[in-house]
Chains A and B, each alone.
Chain A
Amino acid sequence: MDTIAVKTIVGPEGLTLEDGERLYGAIRPKIQAGEELILDFAGVGEVTTAFFNMSIARLYADFASEYLRELLHVVNLNTPGTRALNRSVENARSFYRKK
């Protein structure tokens, strides 16, 4: 199982759409290939929903919740970060389901 150290891709914060794009670029091919993946947020502080919208929640446009739950494993994400990620994912589930 591969591990992506998020800090090496976005730096100490994930704040912008561009940060999200970079992480998405690293995740997407592996998920597409059906590989399990650990996203390690060690050393990452502030993260916005905009960042998660572009990196992780965007995967819901092409993949089902069950599939992502099976393949993606998030570790070392602190409480504010987890709240932001869950908010982003919750909105994405609803948004892409309606499309």
Chain B
Amino acid sequence: MSFWQRLSGRPEKISRLYIPRLNDGLPDVRKMAQLYWLMERNAKGNLTIPVDFTDCDFLRPPAVAMLGGIIGMAEARGAKVPLLRPTLKPQVHEALRNNGFLAAHGIDAQPYANNAVAYRHDAAVDARAYAAFLRDEWITPNWINVGREVRQEIVQSVVEIYNNAFEHGKSRIGVFTVGQRFPTLDEVSLAVVDFGATIPGTVHGVRGNERLPDQEAIAWALKSGNTSRPNISRGLGFDVLVDLVSGPGSHMEIYSRRGMVKVKDGRIDRLPLDFEFPGTMLLIDVNAATIRHKLLTAPKPQVNF
């Protein structure tokens, strides 16, 4: 029985959560959201809902972060969610072992390896630890050719979003992060997922924005100077990331509630979703060479009070 057959008829009760092959395209994100809502309908105290990987031969990092969130949500509701290790195909087992996902869920405690970046779950905000994770485990000097200032530019930009997930998003089960490195391409990618108030949920609270479609609300949050706070200049931090991915080879996608926005080559594309994403997922691909070039060629900025 396929994933779609298993989901057809929107089953109200499940005894297992079947994970399909999950890449990082729109159809895959739709499946991730469906899995979340399916689990949410079923996860209750004292129930055990094992995760079955029989149908899964590939999991991209965003799917791993999302799966961490699904399990975290179910456990927060009192359910037990064991991973069925015998259902893991060798390549999926290796990927989840290498990025530390299996160890984080109680099996195969081994250090990560290869190009995977450690799976990370922050139940509570700790920006310093997160910055150290990004600096020491994601864009490490031995993996990617970046100087100190390029690394700093990337790390501080991503930390903006991490802070935002806790401050504005009020994610009850925290933030889930998985990344990847592509040393030969001079690129790094990162998936950051939270299950909080969503960007549209925050932006709709600003006077005049109540009726913005969700994808337009996300685009609004990307604009420099826009703030959801009435009394203090405090943006959502996304404009910093827009700037970060503005060069060739970099891009980002944001899924939040019923909207999706893609930023690439200076363009911001908006898309309404035919499903509801249960929080916010940020996918970011950063080309280090582009940022290095930008920092080297731009005039050295002076403080401008």
Contacts and interface: CB of A to CB of B under 8 A. Distances in A.
Contacts of A65: 305
Contacts, number: 103
A46 B159 contact: yes
Q: Is the interface of A mostly helix, strand, loop or mixed?
A: helix
Interface stretch (B31-39, B206-214, B224-232): B224-232
Given A46-B131, A79-B301, A95 B227 contact: yes
Contacts of B48: none
B305 A49 contact: no
Contacts of A6: none
22 contacts: A11-B128, A13-B131, A15-B127, A15-B131, A46-B155, A48-B160, A48-B163, A48-B240, A49-B160, A50-B163, A53-B234, A58-B232, A74-B303, A77-B303, A79-B153, A80-B152, A80-B156, A83-B153, A86-B304, A90-B224, A91-B235, A95-B225
A82 interface: yes
Contact of B305 (A16, A58, A68): A68
Contacts of A96: 233
Range of interface residues on B (Cβ < 8 Å): 20 to 34
A78 B274 CA distance: 44
A13 B235 contact: no
A73 B153 CA distance: 22
Interface of A: 11, 13, 15-17, 45-50, 53-54, 57-58, 60-61, 65, 68-69, 72, 74, 77-92, 94-96
A50 B167 CA distance: 11
Interface in B151-187: 152-153, 155-156, 159-160, 163-164, 167
Contact of B163 (A11, A17, A68): A17
B163 A94 contact: no
Given A48-B156, A87-B224, A92 B305 contact: no
B160 A69 contact: no
Contacts of A68: 305
Given A46-B135, A78-B149, A80-B295, 4 more contacts: A13-B128, A15-B128, A74-B303, A94-B225
Interface string B232-257: 11110101100000000000000000
Contact of B127 (A16, A83, A84, A88): A16
A33 to B, nearest CB: 18
